[in-house]
Amino acid sequence: MNSREITTQISKAADFLNLKKWDYGASFSNDYSVQVDKGEAKQLKASQKQILTIRVWNQSNLVGITTTSDISESGIKKALKQANIASDFGNKNESTEFSPLAKDPIKVKEVKKRNPVGIKKLLTILRGAEVKLLESHESIKSVPYNGLSESFFERVYANSEGAFRSYSKSQAALYLYARAEEKNKKPRSSGSVKLGYGADDIDIESCIKEASNKTISHLNYSSIKTDKYLICFSPESFLTIINAFSSMFNARSIIDGVSLSNKNSIGEKLSTEALNIYDDGLHEKNISSSPFDGEGTPTKRLCLINRGRIKNFIHSESTARIFKTTPTGHAGLGSKVSVSPDWIVVEKSEENFDLKKSLDHSTYEGEFVYIEELNAIHAGVRASQGSFSLPFDGWLYKNGNKISIESATVAGDIKYLLKNIVNIESSQELTTSGISPHIWVDELSITGDA
Amino acid sequence: MLSSQIKSNEIIFGSCNKDLLEEIIFYGIGLGADFVEIFIENTDNSSVLAEEDFITSVSPSFGRGAGIRIFKGQKDGFVSTNDLTKHGLMRSVSQAIEMLDITDNKREVFNGLNKHRDYSLSKTKWINEVPSIHEISEKLLVSTKSLKKNNKIITRKGSYSRNLQEVIIASSDGTYVSDIRLHQTVGLNVIASDAQYRSSGSRRFGSSGMPNEFRLWDHEKAANDVFESSMNMLYADYVDAGQMPVVLANKFGGVIFHEACGHLLETTQIERGTTPFENKLNEKIAHESVTAIDEGISEGSFGSLSVDDEGMEPEKSVLIKDGILKKFISDRAGELRTGHKRTGSGRRQNYSFAAASRMRNTYIAKGEHSKEDLINSISEGLYCKSMGGGSVGATGQFNFAVEEGYLIKNGKLTSPVKGATLIGEAKEVMPKISMCGNDLELAPGFCGSISGSVNVTVGQPHIKVDSITVGGR
């Protein structure tokens, strides 16, 4: 069944069950992936997936939902019946409606259509990448985590008031994580991830080079003294921390009492006036962009922090209604509609007079810790309390030399971190989760060799 | 007549599918596969969320699909699909064969499927015996009400989820089994706040194969436990970082062994060359007080199974005996690629993942000491009463958050501390577990890895680690 046929089928079945109001989200995908181990194909995978989520409103305007992978006529009928039963338990405390923007025009990025290159070609590319990475340095003994995948999918949203929107796209990903070993030293590991619209678009050479350089750069390591340090966050690590604490901008989290912000936090000063943060799902560099969210609301660029102050929250339909504003295109369809950011863009504003511009990660000669990548986010972040304690990969820069840090964690409080930003470098870098410059923060605790 | 023709062309749960499954396997073997495995599932799940005094989410879901795995030598191709017709399954077999690029003329022999082993016979009524949404909702609301013990509690949540999975597994070695699995979990969470102070508390409970378990769950005791934890931590200071002895509490304290050591004993880690224990069989890798077990047979435990996802009954595997490494956790691919015998540990989240060697109920066996013995033996250290999540890096370094911690001074528990993380490497920490308590208890959890998220149990008695890095401020 295609998406138009599904819509017709749901409409018919809903009429039969006397359900006047419904909407649905569906996705259909074909995925292909390969992994290799020293030149041999390790696991080759293909999958065809379909997922349908239907919401119905009963006569008391309470919402019920069901999700299924059975998109047959009988599966759709069963899903509607189950959703109808679930609606008896719908949330009486907070109503849900269609997004008022579900029929607004959407911006679909024009991307050349890619076709699957096939498992054999994926395998050939990955084998070649593994060989080159192994040959790049004598200490690199294996590439234990590697994979190349392609995904082709279609997403649909439709409702009983005639909204219907869909888009198709493709995405490919290559990841290479190398392991280096040297005599009488601990093994060291690092890697790189690259995305593209198709396998042929991925910059394989830069992925190999990045994985190799990162891994080799950690071979010469030492422990670090537990203390407070001047920190330089790489673009990737700063975006990781902003995403981990994105509940500060999330209206759903605010309503649920799990955010550091509250309804009156718009305008609150969080950081230096030099800091601007946007959520920009439609950014031209965002390969994972989606033109609409789970409720059909168009995706758009939204300013979250302007000159250091909270400017906007991200919303679903119901949170927007509670906050007396419009949905922002950040909803995920579910029994309880979730809200999450798309793609974060960090910028230096024009009000950047208070920054210490001499702090530049490529030229600064004083002592500082460079945090390349933060790990174990799910374990080390207490978003509702604002605290974090995270292991990281990085280097200690001292007297013009840099040495990889053997094993350490960085701990602190997000509000303290944002308030103590002392420089935002000028040049932005593209990562898989957004765009950011290097960000310098004064006085964060590092636990290393006590 | 028409009805039987339709049935023979599609997998029907609750019916005999032997002819169709044999036809699919013959097809794969005929195309040159060394081994063909078919995993088919039908799921019926639901979850309920109560926040404060309202039910805010009821989410039923159902689905079905098949995962087909073909081996040629040590290579394997895996295809998953929602299409359970003969045509759909054959197309998946063809796709897997094509991926493997099989060109030789060697043909394995398939002698048909063995007699059906049906583990589901006593379980077909479970779907009617589990609590209804109405019953679940009522109990969750009573539970969240129980959490409202003072005005410092600003957020109260109760969540329940039930997964019912019906599986059929058939493979070219003759394996032909069916089973029904039931898992239920319930969790309580609070956030407490007073001026600038904030804390949280959470506990999760879970069972397998016990339809009545949620009805028997002592929500009042659980609510008291979560409330006390959040109150104890509300005004806690941040812990000072350093190297110190720690006592890890029983139950979920076992998550460290699971993450830091258990994963390194899975054959998938040998295949990758990422475990330091690869060549250490029958060598000492831990303190002699440590015996560690992984099994899938404890009745009702969250990680228990009647049969694994490759059709093998789970065994009780003694991984470490008195500090000596005795066994690895292995699945079919692990046995093929590393030589370690299968242990009934081939597991997957669902049909869209190929099975891999995964832990089930994993715990450190009890010792002879009391909890007080362990604490009394420390002059300055940390007691980790409740652990949060953690992770293990590619080189074996682990990092775990301590949700509820107390300083130990002169053999006594003193003030609560927050913000602690435990940092180390299994190879270095295992020999430092010098004392094991006599109070082994298990706790449910979810483990995410190569074959998705699976239900597991972690556990241990109270244990003492002589020295570990504690991260703080």
Domain residue spans in chain A? 119-151+167-218, 222-241+354-447, 250-348
Q: Which residue among B56, B76, B399 sits closest to A43, beta carbon to beta carbon?
A: B76
Q: Which two tokens stand for residue B257?
A: 């062994």
Name the CA radius of gyration of chain B, rounded.
Answer: 24
Q: Which residue among B82, B198, B393 sits closest to A50, beta carbon to beta carbon?
A: B82
Q: Give φ, ψ of B82 to 5 degrees.
A: -95, -5
Helical H segments across A297-386, by residue range: 317-322, 377-380
Mean pLDDT over each residue of chain A, to the nearest integer: 94
Give the pLDDT confidence score for residue B5 in this predicted structure: 40
B397: nearest CA partner in chain A: A407
- Amino acid occupying residue B272: R
Q: Which residue among B60, B99, B271 sits closest to A46, beta carbon to beta carbon?
A: B99
CA atoms of A412 and A388, how far apart (whole Å): 6
CA atoms of B261 and B279, how far apart (whole Å): 15
Unique residue bearing structure tokens 């069901």: A66
Collapsing DSSP states into helix, strand and coil, what is residue A235?
A: helix
Please tell me the distance in Å from A176's CA to the nearest CA on chain B: 12
CA atoms of A18 and A76, how far apart (whole Å): 15
Give the pLDDT confidence score for residue A349 in this predicted structure: 94
Please tell me the distance in Å from B81's CA to the nearest CA on chain A: 5
Domain-wise residue ranges, chain B = 2-234, 237-471
Q: State whether B95 and A46 contact (CB < 8 Å).
A: yes
CA atoms of A296 and A167, how far apart (whole Å): 12
**Selected residue with higher pLDDT from A181 and A351:** A181
A409: nearest CA partner in chain B: B471
Please tell me the distance in Å from A115's CA to the nearest CA on chain B: 17
Which residues of chain A make contact with B49, given a CB cutoff of 8 A? 335-336
A450 pLDDT higher than 60: no
Q: Which two tokens stand for residue A320?
A: 């927007």
Mutate to test the interface with B, among A181, A192, A258, A447 (most CBs of B within 10 A): A447
Tell me which residue of B50, B214, B47 sits closest to B140, measured CA to CA.
Answer: B50
Unique residue bearing structure tokens 């959703």: A83
Which residues of chain A make contact with B82, given a CB cutoff of 8 A? 48-50, 69-71
Angle ∠(A202,A206,A207) on CA atoms, nearest 5: 70
Which residues of chain B make contact with A385, given a CB cutoff of 8 A? 198-200
Q: What is the pLDDT of residues A190-239, one digit of tens each?
A: 999 999 999 999 999 999 999 999 999 999 999 999 999 999 999 999 99
Please tell me the distance in Å from A96's CA to the nearest CA on chain B: 11
How far are the Cα atoms of A123, A198, A425, B55, B89 from residue A118, in angstroms, in the given order? 9, 11, 42, 47, 20
Tell me which residue of B184, B414, B395 sits closest to B276, measured CA to CA.
Answer: B395
Please tell me the distance in Å from A231's CA to the nearest CA on chain B: 15
Please tell me the distance in Å from A404's CA to the nearest CA on chain B: 15
Residue B311 backbone zone (phi > 0: left; psi -120 to 50: alpha; other: beta): left
Q: Which residue among A44, A65, A90 sits closest to B99, beta carbon to beta carbon?
A: A44
Q: Which residue among A44, A85, A447 sits closest to B472, beta carbon to beta carbon?
A: A447
Q: Which residue among A142, A226, A389 sits closest to B401, beta carbon to beta carbon?
A: A389
Q: Which residue among A46, A89, A187 sits closest to B395, beta carbon to beta carbon?
A: A187
Per the CB < 8 A criterion, the answer to whether B55 and A336 are in contact is no
Please tell me the distance in Å from A201's CA to the nearest CA on chain B: 22
Tell me which residue of B116, B92, B68, B85 sits closest to B11, measured CA to CA.
Answer: B85
Q: Which residue among A43, A82, A376 sits closest to B391, beta carbon to beta carbon?
A: A376
Cα A159 to chain centroid distance, Å, stands at 27
Q: State whether A376 and B399 contact (CB < 8 Å).
A: yes
Q: Give φ, ψ of B442 to 5 degrees.
A: -105, 160
Q: State whether A380 and B401 contact (CB < 8 Å).
A: yes
Please tell me the distance in Å from A426's CA to the nearest CA on chain B: 31
CA atoms of B343 and B334, how far apart (whole Å): 10
Count the Cβ atoms, other than its own, within 10 Å of residue B247: 25
Look at strands A344-348 and A275-280 and give their pairing.
antiparallel
pLDDT band at A448 (very low <50, low <70, confident <90, very high): confident
Q: State whether B78 and A43 contact (CB < 8 Å).
A: yes
Which residues of chain A make contact with B191, given a CB cutoff of 8 A? 257-258, 384
Q: State whether B77 and A44 contact (CB < 8 Å).
A: yes
Instruction: Name which CATH class applies to B2-234.
Output: alpha beta
Give the pLDDT confidence score for residue B8 in this predicted structure: 61
Q: State whether B419 and A66 contact (CB < 8 Å).
A: no
Collapsing DSSP states into helix, strand and coil, what is residue B145?
A: helix
Look at strands B324-325 and B397-409 and give their pairing.
unpaired
Topology, domain A119-151+167-218: PmbA/TldD fold (3.30.2290)
CA atoms of B61 and B59, how far apart (whole Å): 7
Which residues lie across from B468 on neighbouring strands?
B244
B450: nearest CA partner in chain A: A145
Look at strands B176-194 and B153-171 and give their pairing.
antiparallel
Q: State whether B60 and A391 contact (CB < 8 Å).
A: no
Q: What is the pLDDT of residues A216-230, one digit of tens each?
A: 999 999 999 999 999
Q: What is the pLDDT of residues A141-167, one digit of tens each?
A: 999 999 999 999 999 999 999 999 999
Which residues of chain B make contact with A37, given a CB cutoff of 8 A? 271-272
CA atoms of B252 and B416, how far apart (whole Å): 19
Low-confidence ranges of chain B (pLDDT < 50): 1-7
Per the CB < 8 A criterion, the answer to whether A189 and A177 are in contact is yes
Q: State whether B101 and A120 contact (CB < 8 Å).
A: yes
- Amino acid occupying residue B251: K
A333: nearest CA partner in chain B: B59
Q: Sign (positive/negative) of CA torsion B30, B33, B39, B40? A: negative
Q: State whether B389 and A378 contact (CB < 8 Å).
A: yes
Per the CB < 8 A criterion, the answer to whether A242 and A379 are in contact is no
Per the CB < 8 A criterion, the answer to whether A168 and A157 are in contact is no
Count the Cβ atoms, other than its own, within 10 Å of residue A360: 15
Write down how long chain B is. Answer: 473
A91: nearest CA partner in chain B: B56
User: What is the C-alpha end-to-end distance of chain B, expressed in Å?
Assistant: 75
Establish, for the pair of chains A and B, how many residue pairs have beta carbons separated by less than 8 Å.
210
Per the CB < 8 A criterion, the answer to whether A279 and A258 are in contact is no
Q: State whether A445 and B395 contact (CB < 8 Å).
A: no
Mutate to test the interface with B, among A38, A40, A43 (most CBs of B within 10 A): A43
Q: Which two tokens stand for residue A223?
A: 């422990």
Give the pLDDT confidence score for residue A408 in this predicted structure: 87
